[in-house]
Amino acid sequence: MKGLWRKGAALAAGAASLAMVVTGCSPAAPNGSGNSSGGNVTVTVRLWDDQVQKAYDASFKQFESQNPGITVKTVLEPYSTYFDKLRTDVSGGNADDIFWISGSYFAPYADNENLMAIGSDFDSEKAGWVPAAVDQYTRNGKLWGVPQLTDGGIAVYYNKDMLAKAGVDPANLSWNPADPSKDTFLKAAQKLTLDAKGHTADDPAFDPNHIVQYGFNASQDLQAIYYNFIGSNGGAFQDGENFVFASDKSAQAIQYIVDLINKYHVSPSAADTNDNGDFMRDAFIQGKVAMFESGTYNLKNVSDGAKFGWSIAPMPAGPDGRVSVVNNIIAAGNAKTAHKDATTKVLQWLGSADGARFIGSEGAAVPAVTAAQSSYNEYWKSQNVDASQFAKAAQGKTIGAPIGSNYGAAFNAWKPIFNEIFLGRTPVKEGLQKAQDAANAAMKQ
Amino acid sequence: MASRLARREAGIGYLLLTPSLFGILAFLVFPILVVIWLSLNSWDLLSPARFIGLRNFTTVFADPAFLRSMLVTVLFVLMVIPLQTALGLLAAVLLSRGLPGSALLRVVYVIPWICAPLALGVVWKWIFAPTGGALNAVLGGTTPWLSDPLLALPAVATVSIWSQVGYVALFFTAGLAAIPEQVTDAARIDGANAWQVFWQVKLPLLRPTMFFVLVTGIISSFQAFDSIYALTPNGGPQGTTDVIATRIYGEAFQTFNLGRASVMALVLFVVLVAVTLAQQFYFRKRITYDLS
Amino acid sequence: MTSPKDTPEATAETDADATTELGAVAKGEPDAAAMEEDTADFPLAEPALRTTRAGRLEARRPSSRPSRTRLGLNLLSYLVLAAGFVLTVAPFILSVMTAFKTPGQFASEPALNPPSPVTVENFITLFTGERNFWAPIAVTAQLVLVVVVGQLGFSVLAAYAFARIQFRLRDVLFWGYLGTMMVPQVVTVIPLYTIFSQLGLRNTFWALVLPFVFGSPYAIFLLREYFRAIPEDLISAARLDGAGTLRILWSIVIPLSRPILATLTIITVVSHWNNFLWPLIITSGRTWQTVTVATAALQSQYNGNWTLVMAATTIALAPLLVLFAIFQKNIISSIAITGFK
Segments making up each domain of chain C, as ranges? 134-332
**Cross-chain residue pair C186–B118, CB shorter than 8 Å:** no
Smallest Cβ distance to C197: which of A50, A76, A92? Answer: A92
Q: How far apart are CA A368 and CA A383, in angstroms?
A: 21
**Cross-chain residue pair C301–A285, CB shorter than 8 Å:** no
> pLDDT tens, C298-334?
887 777 788 999 999 999 999 998 888 888 777 665 4
- Within 8 A of C286 by CB-CB distance, chain A residues are 28, 76
B137 — alpha (psi -120 to 50), left (phi > 0) or beta? alpha
C81 at the A interface (CB within 8 A)?
A: no
B32: in domain: no
Nearest to A168 by CA among A186, A154, A142: A186
CA atoms within 13 A on the CB side of A52: 31
Q: How far apart are CA C287 and CA A24, in angstroms?
A: 11
| Minimal CA separation from C74 to chain A, in Å | 40
Strand ranges in C179-226 using DSSP code E only, listed in sequence order: none
Q: Are B25 and B18 in contact (CB under 8 A)?
A: no
Nearest to B119 by CA among B23, B231, B40: B231
**Cross-chain residue pair C202–A94, CB shorter than 8 Å:** yes
Smallest Cβ distance to C135: which of A2, A27, A278? Answer: A27
Q: How far apart are CA A258 and CA A226, in angstroms?
A: 10
| Minimal CA separation from A406 to chain B, in Å | 7
| Chain C 225-284, residues with CB within 8 Å of chain A CB atoms | 250-251, 255, 280-281, 284
Strands A41-47 and A70-76: parallel
Q: Is B255 helix (H, G, I), strand (E, B) or coil?
A: coil
| Chain B 151-190, residues with CB within 8 Å of chain C CB atoms | 162, 165-167, 170-171, 173-175, 177-178, 180-183, 185-186, 188
Rg (CA), chain C: 25
- Within 8 A of C226 by CB-CB distance, chain B residues are 208
pLDDT category of residue A14 using cuts at 50, 70 and 90: low
Q: Are A204 and A402 in contact (CB under 8 A)?
A: no
**Cross-chain residue pair A78–C302, CB shorter than 8 Å:** no
| Minimal CA separation from C190 to chain A, in Å | 8
The DSSP bridge partners found for residue A330 are A101, A147
- Within 8 A of C255 by CB-CB distance, chain A residues are 5
Domains and CATH numbers, chain A: 41-152+327-399 (3.40.190.10), 155-325+406-443 (3.40.190.10)
Q: Are C336 and C13 in contact (CB under 8 A)?
A: yes
Chain A residue with minimum CA distance to B148: A271
A94 at the B interface (CB within 8 A)?
A: no
Nearest to C282 by CA among C217, C216, C199: C199
Strands A41-47 and A98-102: parallel
> pLDDT tens, C49-69?
333 333 333 344 445 556 778
**Cross-chain residue pair B123–C215, CB shorter than 8 Å:** no
pLDDT at residue A36, rounded to an integer: 44
> pLDDT tens, A164-191?
999 999 999 999 999 999 999 999 999 9
C289 at the B interface (CB within 8 A)?
A: no
Which residues have a Cβ under 8 Å from the Cβ of A116 and sit 6 or more positions away? A144, A332, A333, A334, A335, A337, A340, A343, A344, A347
Rg (CA), chain A: 26
B34: in domain: no
- Within 8 A of A17 by CB-CB distance, chain C residues are none
Smallest Cβ distance to C225: which of B177, B208, B252? Answer: B208
| Minimal CA separation from A247 to chain C, in Å | 31
- Peptide bond just before A314 cis, omega within 30 deg: no
B234: in domain: yes
Give C45 or C239, the one with higher predicted confidence. C239
Minimum mean pLDDT range among A89-103, A117-131, A296-310, C237-251: C237-251
| Minimal CA separation from B129 to chain A, in Å | 7
Count of domains for chain B: 1
Backbone dihedral angles phi then psi of residue A261, each to the nearest 5 degrees: -80, -55
pLDDT at residue C187, rounded to an integer: 83
The DSSP bridge partners found for residue A398 are A324
| Minimal CA separation from A94 to chain C, in Å | 8
pLDDT at residue C335, rounded to an integer: 33
Give A18 or A390, the one with higher predicted confidence. A390
Q: Give me the mean pLDDT over the C146-151 stretch.
A: 95
Q: How far apart are CA A365 and CA A297, in angstroms?
A: 7
Q: CA B224, B95, C94: angle at the middle one, nearest 5?
A: 55
A304 at the C interface (CB within 8 A)?
A: yes
pLDDT category of residue A6 using cuts at 50, 70 and 90: low
Give B61 or A1, the one with higher predicted confidence. B61
Mutate to test the interface with B, among A109, A222, A412, A414 (most CBs of B within 10 A): A412
Kindly report the average pLDDT of chain A as a whole number. 89
What is the secondary structure of A365-419 as a DSSP string?
Answer: -EESBGGGHHHHHHHHHHTT---HHHHHHHHSEEEPPP--TTHHHHHHHHHHHHH
Q: Is A94 helix (H, G, I), strand (E, B) or coil?
A: coil
Q: Are A273 and A219 in contact (CB under 8 A)?
A: yes
* One-letter-per-residue 3-state SS of A361-375: HCCCCEECEHHHHHH
Minimum mean pLDDT range among A375-379, B213-217, C183-187: C183-187
Backbone dihedral angles phi then psi of residue A174, each to the nearest 5 degrees: -140, 150
Would you tell me how many other CB atoms lie within 10 Å of the CB of residue A336?
A: 15
Q: Which chains are within 8 Å of B by 3+ CB pairs?
A: A, C
**Cross-chain residue pair A271–B130, CB shorter than 8 Å:** yes
Smallest Cβ distance to C214: which of B19, B96, B205? Answer: B19
> Could you tell me how many CB contacts below 8 A there are between chain A and chain C?
113
**Cross-chain residue pair A23–C299, CB shorter than 8 Å:** no
pLDDT at residue B106, rounded to an integer: 87
B73 at the C interface (CB within 8 A)?
A: no
Q: Are C255 and C247 in contact (CB under 8 A)?
A: no
Give B97 or A250, the one with higher predicted confidence. A250
**Cross-chain residue pair C170–B272, CB shorter than 8 Å:** no
Nearest to A347 by CA among A151, A80, A63, A138: A63
| Crossing angle between the packed helical segments B258-284 and B64-95, to the nearest 10 degrees | 40
B23 at the A interface (CB within 8 A)?
A: no
Where is C36: in which H helix or E strand?
helix C32-41
Q: Give me the mean pLDDT over the A205-215 stretch.
A: 92
| Chain A 14-73, residues with CB within 8 Å of chain B CB atoms | none
The DSSP bridge partners found for residue A244 are none
**Cross-chain residue pair C165–B94, CB shorter than 8 Å:** no
B111 at the C interface (CB within 8 A)?
A: yes
Q: Find the domain containing B74 and state its range.
A: 64-284
- Residue C106 pLDDT > 90, yes or no? no
Which residues have a Cβ under 8 Å from the Cβ of B205 and sit 6 or more positions away? B175, B179, B183, C22, C23
Nearest to C192 by CA among A96, B23, A114, A79: B23
| Chain B 120-139, residues with CB within 8 Å of chain A CB atoms | 125, 129-131
We find that the CATH architecture of domain C134-332 is Orthogonal Bundle (1.10)
Q: What is the DSSP letter of A289?
A: B
pLDDT at residue A7, rounded to an integer: 55
CA atoms within 13 A on the CB side of A10: 5
> pLDDT tens, B3-30?
887 888 888 888 899 999 999 999 999 9
pLDDT tens for chain B, 292 residues long, are 668 878 888 888 888 999 999 999 999 999 999 999 999 999 988 888 899 999 999 999 999 999 999 999 999 999 999 999 999 999 999 988 878 888 889 889 989 998 888 788 889 998 998 888 889 988 888 889 999 999 999 999 999 999 999 989 988 887 887 777 788 888 888 887 877 888 888 888 888 889 889 999 999 899 999 889 989 988 889 999 999 999 999 889 888 899 999 999 999 999 999 999 898 888 877 765 543 3
| Minimal CA separation from B286 to chain C, in Å | 11
| Minimal CA separation from B253 to chain A, in Å | 6
| Minimal CA separation from A226 to chain B, in Å | 19
Chain A residue with minimum CA distance to C254: A5
Q: Give me the mean pLDDT over the C186-190 stretch.
A: 86
A16 at the C interface (CB within 8 A)?
A: yes
Which residues have a Cβ under 8 Å from the Cβ of C127 and sit 6 or more positions away? C133, C134
**Cross-chain residue pair B257–A269, CB shorter than 8 Å:** no
B273 at the C interface (CB within 8 A)?
A: yes
- Residue C103 pLDDT > 90, yes or no? no
Q: How far apart are CA B119 and CA B127, in angstroms?
A: 12
Task: Tell me the one-letter amino acid at B114.
Answer: I
Nearest to A101 by CA among A331, A325, A327: A331
CATH code assigned at B229: 1.10.3720.10
Class of residue C52 by CB neighbours under 10 A (exposed 0-12, middle 13-18, buried 19+): middle
- Residue C39 pLDDT > 80, yes or no? no
pLDDT at residue C242, rounded to an integer: 81
- Residue A346 pLDDT > 70, yes or no? yes
Q: How far apart are CA B52 and CA B177, in angstroms?
A: 55
Q: CA C278, C284, C290: angle at the middle one, nearest 5?
A: 55
- How much is the ipTM here? 0.86
C259 at the B interface (CB within 8 A)?
A: yes
CA atoms within 13 A on the CB side of C340: 21
Q: Give me the mean pLDDT over the C156-181 stretch.
A: 90
**Cross-chain residue pair C176–B248, CB shorter than 8 Å:** no
Class of residue A137 by CB neighbours under 10 A (exposed 0-12, middle 13-18, buried 19+): buried
Backbone dihedral angles phi then psi of residue A99, each to the nearest 5 degrees: -145, 150
- Within 8 A of C194 by CB-CB distance, chain B residues are 34
Diameter of chain A by CA atoms? 95
Chain A residue with minimum CA distance to B247: A412
A205 at the C interface (CB within 8 A)?
A: no
Q: CA C306, B167, B185: angle at the middle one, nearest 5?
A: 150
C-alpha torsion C246→C248→C251→C255, nearest 10:
-110
**Cross-chain residue pair C90–B134, CB shorter than 8 Å:** yes
Smallest Cβ distance to B129: which of A108, A272, A419? Answer: A272
- Residue C36 pLDDT > 70, yes or no? no
| Chain C 308-337, residues with CB within 8 Å of chain A CB atoms | none
Helix and strand element counts for chain A (H, E) = 19, 17
Nearest to B44 by CA among A442, A334, C284: A442
